[in-house]
Amino acid sequence: MDKYLSAFREMISLRGLTDHTVTSYSTYIRAYLNYLSGILHKMPEDVSWDELRDFIRWLQREKSLSDRTMNHCISQLRFFTIYVLHKPWDATQLPMRRFDSYLPFVPTQNEVWYFIQSFSNLKHKAVLSLLYSAGLRVGEACSLRYEDISRSSMRIHIRHSKARSDRYAILSQNALDILTQYWFHAGRPMGFLFPNRDNSQKPMASYTVNQFIAAKEAELGWEHRFSCHTFRHAFGTHLYENGTDLLTIKALLGHKSLNSTTIYVHLASNGTGNAVSPFDQMGGVSHGQV
C-alpha cells in the first residue's frame, strides 16, 4: 500500500501545499489503506461504494470523529480516487455530512491580559503576546524571523499565510516590549525568533504552544477553554467591540472572504446582542422589559 500513499502525497505536493499540509492530508488516506490491507484485504481499485461507506462508518466509530472532520476525510478520499486511482467520483454515493456550527470561546480583554501576564517564561509570554496583539495564527507566530519585525513602521510582515499571500499585521508596543525583553534574554536570535529547542534552524513546533497553554490553565485551576486560536478570535472580537470596521479586521487577519470575518459580529458584546427588536419599537416608543 506504500505506493498508493506515495502517489497521493506526490499529487498533493503538486498543488504547491506545504509539507505540514501534505502530512495532515495524508492522515486519513493512511488509515484507509491500513483498513484495506488489514480488514478488507483488498486493493483500492477493487473497493465498492458499499465498502467505502463501511470504512467511513468504521472510522467515525473507532475514532469518535466529528462530522466536520469526517468531511475532511471524504474530501481526501475523493482526491485519492480521482488523482491516484484515476476513477470518477460520485458524490451521490458518499455525500458530505451536515454539521453543527458553534461559536468559539472568547475571553475578555482582562482575562487575556491576566493569562499572558501569568507567564514567567519569556518565550511563551512573547508568543502569546503576538498571537493576541496581532491576531496571528500559531504557525505564523512560530515562523516569525528577526527581519519580519519592523520597529520603524510598527508592523509585522507575515509571509506565505494560510491564504497563500503576504500581509502586514499590527505590531503592538506592549508586545514589542515583551518581545524585546525575550530577544535579549534568548541571546538575540537573528533567524527564527522562536527557534526549535532541538534545532535552531527550525521554528518552534505549533503543538508546543498548545501544550504550554494547557499547562498554564491547569496551573491556574482554569477550565480548559484556551487554545492557540483563542487569541486570534479574541483579537478580532475586541477590535470590533472597540469600533474597528469589518473590512479592516479582514485585512489584519488575512481572511480571503468577508464571510470569515463576520463571525466577530456574533462574538462581540456590542454585536447582534445589542440590536433592538422592532417589536419593542412599535408605536414610536421603545418598550423596556417588565
Instruction: Extract the C-alpha cell encoding 134.
Output: 496581532
232 an active-site residue?
yes
Which one of 72, 97, 162, 167 is the catalytic residue?
A: 162
Sheet containing strand 167-170, strands side by side: 149-150, 155-158, 167-170
CA distance 25 to 40: 22
Active site annotation includes 160? no
Residue 266 bears catalytic tag? no
Marked catalytic residue, from 9, 123, 216, 232:
232
Q: What DSSP state is assigned to residue 92? A: T
Name the active-site residue from 123, 124, 125, 137.
137
Separation of alpha carbons 239 and 112, rounded Å: 14
- Decide if 125 is catalytic: no
- The residue from 30, 145, 155, 229 that is catalytic is 229
Whether the Cβ atoms of residue 249 and residue 239 lie closer than 8 Å to each other:
yes
- Residue 129, all three cell numbers: 503576546
Q: How far is CA 31 from the centre of its chain?
A: 23
Concerning whether 137 is annotated as a catalytic residue, the answer is: yes
Task: Let me know if 132 is a catalytic residue.
Answer: no
- Active-site positions read 137, 162, 229, 232, 255, 264
